Amino acid sequence: MHTLLLAGAAAGLDPLAWTIVVVGISIVFLSLLVVYFFFRYILTYILNFKLKSFARKKGIDPAEAQTARTIQSGEVNAAIAMALYQYFNELHDVESGVITIKRVSRNYSPWSSKLYNMNNL
């Protein structure tokens, strides 16, 4: 039943509308593909080029500079993990979970006064 309704609605559309839909969807997917290739390949190439040029300025072999940046020892990773663990555990306060409500009686408050809500005739 639903397919008949959809087929009837699709048959009533203008052929130009189908062209607009196809072109719009293709533009969206093409732009997503371009963004993917930019971040996957071109940005990686640019960052590696900058790293190699920085290593040449410092007098370091570019191949050693890249491996020194990407490889870390297990002690360094353990220290970073422990620091993050301690930081995120100290963010929250330890509370007792007991709620106390103290009633305070006030004689007059202009915010709750019914006098200002009445109309004078």
Task: Please write the tens of the pLDDT for every residue from 43-68.
Answer: 888 887 887 777 777 777 766 666 54
Number of Cβ within 10 Å of residue 66's Cβ equals 15
> What gap in Å lies between CA 26 and CA 6, rounded to an integer?
22
Q: Give pLDDT, residue 47.
A: 80
Give the model's confidence band at 10: pLDDT under 50 very low, under 70 low, under 90 confident, else very high. Answer: low
Structure tokens, 40: 């996957």
Whether the CA torsion 105, 107, 110, 112 is positive or negative: it is: positive
